[in-house]
Amino acid sequence: MNILVLGAGTFGTAIANELSANKDNNVILFSRNQDKVDEINKWHTNKSCFPNKHLTNTLLASSDKKDVKNADVILIALPSSVIIKYLTSLQQHFKKEVLLVNLSKGLFANGVTIVESLQEQLGIANVVTLKGPSFAVEVMEHADTLLTLGYSTNEQYYIINSIIKNTALHIDCTTDIRGVEVLSVLKNIYALILGVVDAKYNSPNTRFMILTKAFSEVRVLLRSLGGAEDTLFLACGFGDLCLTSLNDLSRNRTLGLLIGKGFFSGDYKTNSVILEGLNAVNLVHSFPLDHIIENLPLLNKLHSFFGSKTNILSIEFDKLVDRKFRTVLTYGTFDLLHYGHLEILRRASQLGDKLIVGLSTDEFNELKGKRCVLTYKKRKELLESLDYVDKVIPESNWEQKMNDIKENDIDIFLMGNDWEGKFDAMKEYCEVIYLPRTKGISTTKLKSILKD
């Protein structure tokens, strides 16, 4: 297999070096720096990245675009800010069926991932992502390392699996490419706050209290930004969050340690690590997070700290950690369960810790003049099978809502925005939220299509 690694920095060099341990791989490390290319080919070193390490004799380097033409797999280990421009300049040399593997971490405006940007702007669908708990220096030491492969086809999986054979690299995998990409950014934010906590308190109890809360916030953000919750339990999630948050080789944790010790200068422009952390915090905080932003106290604290440009990040644990268990209540018929239903239930579940759904009974639907395809019993079974839903209660009449709120100790009453203002009287007892419905889909529309 002909493999090209774009970017001869620390991680690109380490991955290229490890892949070259597989004798079936022909690996070329691509760099525009001719001096670096010559050094690697002549001395088998890359001293600017690894002063005391020797690379494998089979690893070659190149700056010649002609070598791009032979690549079956291209791994991208470049700063996210230059990826699109860099790859656009090389695209004319790509094989038709080349597989692009994104190793780089970052999100663009509006939450667009690097993989999505490559697919859209280069018009290449054959793109996967490979992320996980991996320090470059450890990879250079041939330490066994688990990475998460985000892929979409079996062929992509088989290719990646074949090129890591006989190396110290291992993979777990998911088709949730977006989730893998998003987690690679989120973990840096929370590594920063863990660094602050360790510097200020040096307490295992406090450290793991904040780590637990960080994990909870990452879960909320992951779901809100379109990732699958299960992805959090792969190497790119739990593994990378812990590695980056708890190990002093982590740049973002180190920044947190400096902030915690009061050495933070507030000079963003001259410090690339500070700028990276600041950009990640500001970018994620700027996303449309609907009503969940108040459930992200750690993110909010960092955002406020960078905005104030003070030297010390103060931590008030009562405000950051302690919070009331919140129960959400919504109602509906949920006949012919579809994506629009799933979307509003997903968003409703993100607003609290428990979601109760009031489901219209068959008798109540009759009174409303509604005809359901599925019986109450079947609709209830479908809702109860969803991870988002914790409890289903029968809705038998219009008047019961106030009673349900009191009996179930409801904190948030939620309905679609087509009911805007109709339930404002409930605000005396709980928070009332009207969420926009998913455009382009409805049960009525589905029934009409099925009828036709």
Query: Is residue 310 over pLDDT 70?
Result: no
Q: Residue 71's domain spans which residues? A: 2-175
Pick from 272, 293, 320: which residue ends a domain? 320
**What pLDDT is stored for residue 291 in this prediction?**
76
Q: Determine which one of 69, 354, 370, 391 is catalytic.
A: 370
Query: Is residue 445 over pLDDT 60?
Result: no
The answer to whether residues 346 and 416 belong to one domain is: yes
The answer to whether residues 142 and 257 belong to one domain is: no
Nearby residues of 249 by Cβ (< 8 Å), 6 or more positions away: 135, 137
Query: Is residue 426 over pLDDT 90?
Result: yes
**Structure tokens belonging to residue 318:** 């009562």
Domain total in the chain: 3
User: pLDDT tier at 83 (50, 70, 90 boundaries)?
Assistant: very high
**What pLDDT is stored for residue 47 in this prediction?**
96
**What pLDDT is stored for residue 449 in this prediction?**
39
Question: In this structure, are residues 315 and 196 in contact, taking their beta carbons and an 8 Å threshold?
Answer: yes
Q: What is the tens place of the pLDDT at every residue in 323-373?
A: 778 899 999 999 888 888 888 898 898 888 899 999 999 999 999 888 888
Q: What is the tens place of the pLDDT at every residue in 201-210?
A: 999 999 999 9
Mean residue pLDDT across the chain: 90
The answer to whether residues 265 and 200 belong to one domain is: yes
What's the CATH code of the domain at 421?
3.40.50.620
Q: What is the tens place of the pLDDT at every residue in 166-221?
A: 999 999 999 999 999 999 999 999 999 999 999 999 999 999 999 999 999 999 89
Amino acid at 354: K
Q: Determine which one of 368, 378, 422, 445 is catalytic.
A: 368
The answer to whether residues 56 and 156 belong to one domain is: yes
The answer to whether residues 109 and 203 belong to one domain is: no
Distance separating alpha carbons of residues 195 and 330, to the nearest angstrom: 40
**Structure tokens belonging to residue 366:** 């009759």
The answer to whether residues 96 and 40 belong to one domain is: yes
Compute φ and ψ for 35, nearest 5 degrees. -65, -40
Question: In this structure, are residues 85 and 108 in contact, taking their beta carbons and an 8 Å threshold?
Answer: no
What's the CATH code of the domain at 166?
3.40.50.720
Name the residue with tokens 């100790």: 409
**Nearest Cα to Cα of residue 318 among 188, 213, 239:** 213
The answer to whether residues 211 and 357 belong to one domain is: no
What's the CATH code of the domain at 260?
1.10.1040.10
Amino acid at 369: G
User: pLDDT tier at 314 (50, 70, 90 boundaries)?
Assistant: confident
Question: In this structure, are residues 340 and 416 in contact, taking their beta carbons and an 8 Å threshold?
Answer: no
The answer to whether residues 315 and 346 belong to one domain is: no
The answer to whether residues 171 and 243 belong to one domain is: no
Cα three-residue angle 235-236-241, rounded to 5 degrees: 95
Pick from 289, 320, 351: which residue ends a domain? 320
The answer to whether residues 31 and 138 belong to one domain is: yes
The answer to whether residues 159 and 22 belong to one domain is: yes
**Left (φ > 0), alpha (ψ -120 to 50) or beta: where does 45 sit?**
beta
Concerning whether 370 is annotated as a catalytic residue, the answer is yes
Q: What is the DSSP string of 236-296?
A: IIIIHHHHHHH-TT-HHHHHHHHHHTT------TT-HHHHHHHHHHHHHHHS--TT-GGG-
Pick from 272, 295, 320: which residue ends a domain? 320
pLDDT: is 437 or 250 the higher one? 250
Please count the other Cβ atoms lying within 10 Å of the Cβ belonging to residue 448. 10
What SS3 class is residue 100?
strand
Q: What is the tens place of the pLDDT at every residue in 6-44?
A: 999 999 999 999 999 999 999 999 999 999 999 999 999
Q: Which residues pair with 393 in a beta bridge?
A: 358
Could you give the percent of the chain with pLDDT greater than 90?
A: 71
Q: What is the tens place of the pLDDT at every residue in 428-441?
A: 999 999 988 765 54
The answer to whether residues 12 and 147 belong to one domain is: yes
Name the residue with tokens 């931590």: 315
* Model confidence pTM above 0.95: no
Mean pLDDT, residues 230-245 taken together? 97
Q: What is the tens place of the pLDDT at every residue in 264-299?
A: 665 555 566 666 777 888 889 888 776 788 788 999
- What's the length of the chain? 452
Distance separating alpha carbons of residues 77 and 8, to the nearest angstrom: 8
First-to-last CA distance in the chain? 52
Mean pLDDT, residues 97-113 taken together? 93
Residue 369 CB-density burial (10 A; 0-12 exposed, 13-18 middle, 19+ buried): exposed
Question: In this structure, are residues 401 and 358 in contact, taking their beta carbons and an 8 Å threshold?
Answer: yes
Q: What is the tens place of the pLDDT at every residue in 111-167?
A: 899 999 999 999 999 999 999 999 999 999 999 999 999 999 999 999 999 999 999
**Structure tokens belonging to residue 427:** 């605000």
Distance separating alpha carbons of residues 106 and 55, to the nearest angstrom: 28
**Nearest Cα to Cα of residue 323 among 286, 287, 298, 305:** 298
Concerning whether 368 is annotated as a catalytic residue, the answer is yes
